[in-house]
Structure 1
């Protein structure tokens, strides 16, 4: 590969990472918006449903894709978290103890509660993530003896989120599949003995795209879950508000990665075109005097979402309004949608 091609590829990866950071921030922000606007109980239920849905959609296919579906249940479950999170840029540790017991540890800083966000996350919300995913892996594997024992939670002031999968000698009841043992501590991590992805099937370009998609997938899951849980009116408000707040905070970071800058309507229209390209969406821009019309032909993030609702488009509407505010004052962004809120989505920037 030539130097020019190398530079172009690095620039592409930088754009993908900026998209990942934007959607990562949106997902974390969405949880905090529910905590502050609806309370801890609703936020916990929302997080539970998001992670249960992801677990049901991804866990078993992921085991096969990673080539670990032949391992004992406790080991397979723990290695899944280690490898899949590693692909997404999340720091996780894995410690094998026996075929019936394997540890995972998410050391600080926590990816999902980035920066100061961790100060606003109640312990109940963090536990809901474990109830949604970790507690259900035994059910998914058809082994009701498999449970998860949590020994630490970062949001409770402990030095990470950690615990172990344990295969008991008897089937577990629903309330036994996630238990807490705060008096225990994970063994030390040894990178030399940890599993690794086969480099041949996970080259750098594939990993970079997977890094971007990892963060985006949380929003793909969260938006329809929120609509089903709270209804389209309330969900639309929360999705829109979160998007606007995150967009205002993240314009400069994303723009720098896209080689864009602040300005007026023209600068923002160019920014949106670059953002669509970075998330693999097709868009066409036309101009009439000082008004720009961007016709978004695809929204791949929401392709094939069976329970998609038009209110999910509030994700983009809020994000783009916030990003426009970060780009410059008095930039108007208006969305026109087809029936059902599906693409093409038309964005008028003026």
Structure 2
């Protein structure tokens, strides 16, 4: 690979990482929006459904991809959380105790509740994440004896989220799949004993794309879940509002990663085309007084079986917010194709 190719690849990876930060913030923002606009109970239900859906779609295929499917159930589940989260840039630790007991720990700072966001997350919402995913791994594996014991929660003021998978001697009732054992503490993490990805099957380009996709897939899951839970009208409002707020807050950070800055409507159109490229979408531009970008694909939602046109409200809000961050009075308008699906025609002036 030439020096020019190396530079181009590094620039692409930087754009992917900037895009990941944007979608990461958008997902956290969606949870906070539901907490503040709908209340703790509905936010907990939303988070439960998001993580249960992620678990049902990702866990078993992920075990195969990561080469963990032949390990003992407790060890496989814990190593899955360690490796899959590590790929996404999450600070995470794994501690083996026995073939029937293995720990996972998310030390501070917590990825999902980045920065000050952690102050707005009730304990019930964090518990819903564990109910949605960790408590269901035994069910997914066909092992009714596998459960998860949580020993700490960051949002409760403890020094991390931690717990252990345990394979008991008996089948667990539903309310036994997740228990709390706050009197216990995880053993110390030793990086030398942690699992590692095989370099030959996980080269740098694959890792960089997986890092980007990790954050984006949370929004891919959250948007249809929100529509199903709250209905298209209410969900569309929440998705649009969150997208706009996050776009306004994150334009400068994302633009830096793209080698761009604030400017005019034309500058924003250039930025938006670069963003489409970074998320693997096909887009064409034309200009006749008003700049138009025809987004031919929305790859993120392309294979979502219960996609609803209201899901696109998160994208609409996000781009409106990014435009506001780019410069004052930059108007963005989106017209979808029939059925609220791509191609989306974006007018920028």
- Shorter chain as denominator, the TM-score bin is over 0.9
Alignment partner, residue 346 of structure 1: 345
Alignment partner, residue 328 of structure 2: 329
CA-to-aligned-CA distance 1:1-45 (integer Å, 9 cap, x gap):
222211111111000001000000000000000000000000000
Alignment partner, residue 198 of structure 1: 198
Alignment partner, residue 94 of structure 1: 94
Q: Displacement of 1:224 after TM fit?
A: 0.2
SS in structure 1 of the partner of residue 345 of structure 2: strand
Q: Displacement of 1:339 after TM fit?
A: 1.6
1:172 & 1:337 partners in 2: Cα distance? 48
SS in structure 1 of the partner of residue 297 of structure 2: coil
2:195 & 2:324 partners in 1: Cα distance? 45
SS in structure 1 of the partner of residue 148 of structure 2: strand
Q: Displacement of 1:317 after TM fit?
A: 0.4
The TM-score with structure 1 as length reference comes to 0.99
CA-to-aligned-CA distance 1:249-274 (integer Å, 9 cap, x gap):
00011111112221111111111101
Alignment partner, residue 15 of structure 1: 15
Alignment partner, residue 26 of structure 2: 26
Q: Displacement of 1:141 after TM fit?
A: 0.4
SS in structure 2 of the partner of residue 292 of structure 1: strand
1:46 & 1:171 partners in 2: Cα distance? 28
Alignment partner, residue 160 of structure 1: 160
**Matched ranges for 1:188-227 at <5 A:** 188-227=188-227
Q: Displacement of 1:88 after TM fit?
A: 0.6
1:77 & 1:15 partners in 2: Cα distance? 32
Q: Displacement of 1:341 after TM fit?
A: 1.4
- Segments of 5+ residues of structure 2 without an aligned counterpart are none
CA-to-aligned-CA distance 1:275-312 (integer Å, 9 cap, x gap):
000111010011112x1000000000001100000000
**Matched ranges for 1:95-110 at <5 A:** 95-110=95-110
1:216 & 1:303 partners in 2: Cα distance? 13
SS in structure 2 of the partner of residue 31 of structure 1: helix
SS in structure 2 of the partner of residue 334 of structure 1: strand
Alignment partner, residue 185 of structure 2: 185
SS in structure 1 of the partner of residue 95 of structure 2: strand
Q: Displacement of 1:345 after TM fit?
A: 0.3
CA-to-aligned-CA distance 1:152-171 (integer Å, 9 cap, x gap):
00000000000000000000
Alignment partner, residue 265 of structure 1: 265
**Matched ranges for 1:100-139 at <5 A:** 100-139=100-139
The TM-score with structure 2 as length reference comes to 0.99
Alignment partner, residue 256 of structure 2: 256
Alignment partner, residue 292 of structure 2: 293
Alignment partner, residue 234 of structure 2: 234
Q: Displacement of 1:340 after TM fit?
A: 1.8
Q: Displacement of 1:323 after TM fit?
A: 0.4
Alignment partner, residue 79 of structure 1: 79
SS in structure 2 of the partner of residue 198 of structure 1: coil
RMSD: 0.5
Q: How many residues are aligned here? A: 349
Alignment partner, residue 303 of structure 2: 304
- Runs of 4+ in structure 1 off by over 4 angstroms are none
- Segments of 5+ residues of structure 1 without an aligned counterpart are none
CA-to-aligned-CA distance 1:52-96 (integer Å, 9 cap, x gap):
000000100000111110011000000000010011111110000
Alignment partner, residue 315 of structure 2: 316
2:315 & 2:223 partners in 1: Cα distance? 11
SS in structure 1 of the partner of residue 200 of structure 2: helix
